[in-house]
Amino acid sequence: MKFHNKLTDWYLVNARDLPWRETQDPYPIWLSEIMLQQTRINQGLPYFFKFMEAFPTVFDLAGASEDKVLKLWQGLGYYSRARNLHFTAKYVAHELNGVFPTTYKELKQLKGVGDYTASAIASFCYQEPVAVVDGNVYRVLSRYFGIDTPINSTEGIKEFKSLAEKLLDKKQPHIYNQAIMEFGALQCSPKSPDCDICPLQVDCVAFQQNSITALPRKLKKTKVQERNYNYIVVVDKEGQVLLEKRTGKGIWKNLYQFPLIESTKTCETLEDLISFNDESLPQHILEEASLYNEKPIKHVLSHRKLWVSFWIVEVEKLKLVENLSKSLLMTNQIDTFAVPVVIEKFIDAYGFSE
């Protein structure tokens, strides 16, 4: 029996019930694929339902503000996905009359749609015979064929894509692509897969060579940098608070935060903090700050470790404070702004009144 027949047979018995599998409409499929990039289904699922309810069509998504899209995306991470999603929604709605491209080649031109996502949409929606290669596919193929080329090397990417195209069931690419990914997620799992009940066991090179745990191979990534973030929470008795928008390049682009003072070490005292002030806030404001959390909060991202401290400044009336930077905004509706998770956790703990 052919490789693809074994997989699709397994899939027809073991497939999970997932909402985007009930349709061939490119809008929900595109949405789900963007959300699931580097994201587990269980984490993405509630966001998929939220977005489909808030934006039932690509026109609804296109008509929303980026702030609202980012707010709904809050907590899912990799926020460039949300910005690109919104950009592409506007493009499809306004330039293409709401009609998505129907080929791999055209789909791949869309912002935020790479090789995997273009293949997924083209095969799921239009039965184009193009093979998806995601983390699941790398794992299944590297083990079954005993390939130890690093999956994140230039050579590995080409080699596995080529192999995947060769194995693709061209008569039903939709089913095959779903099947190999589902197989990788449920049966050929990263750690301790249950090979005893695997239908591919007899032909699996890694199983025969006892190299399941060694595959797939992956080149090591650089280690994480550490940063110290001091957030200055300036509030008044009317429930107003100061926020700033993160512009520029780095993490959390276009999300909001309290005015930030970055320091090269943990600030133990107010004097430490003031010494790192880069005039993001007037000196007389900072002098009233008191440390909220005794020890810095560790917030770990994929490539960064943040040590986060919150400092509270209570003023009588924020609107009367002089010399505030024009880039700062004042609000009593903090819950309407997209913020990083570490800030959302603080907001929940601190308990803003309005």
Partner DNA sequence: AAGTCGGGGAC
Partner DNA sequence: GTCCCAGACTT
Summarize as ranges the residues that interact with DNA (CB under 7 A): 18, 20-21, 32-33, 36-43, 75-80, 84, 111-118, 120, 134-136, 138-139, 153-155, 178, 181-182, 184-185, 190-192, 216, 218-219, 221-222, 249-253, 299-304, 340-342
Whole-number Å distance between alpha carbons of 116 and 33: 9
The tokens describing 276, both together, are 């790192």
Whole-number Å distance between alpha carbons of 194 and 303: 32
CB of residue 338 to DNA, shortest distance in Å: 9
Q: Indicate the residue among 79 and 207 with the shorter CB distance to DNA.
A: 79
Indicate the helix (H) or strand (E) that contains 315: strand 304-315
53 catalytic residue (yes or no) = no
Q: Indicate the residue among 223 and 326 with the shorter CB distance to DNA.
A: 223
Q: Indicate the residue among 25 and 238 with the shorter CB distance to DNA.
A: 25
Any idea how long the chain is?
A: 354
CB of residue 317 to DNA, shortest distance in Å: 32
100 neighbors 92 (Cβ within 8 angstroms): yes
Whole-number Å distance between alpha carbons of 349 and 342: 11
What is the identity of the amino acid at 104?
A: Y
Q: Catalytic one among 22, 33, 268, 314?
A: 33
Q: Indicate the residue among 28 and 286 with the shorter CB distance to DNA.
A: 28
CB of residue 323 to DNA, shortest distance in Å: 30
82 neighbors 70 (Cβ within 8 angstroms): yes
What distance, in Å, lies between the first and last C-alpha atoms of the chain?
64
CB of residue 151 to DNA, shortest distance in Å: 8
Which residue matches tokens 């940063």?
227
CA 147 to chain centroid, in Å, comes to 29
Catalytic residues: 33
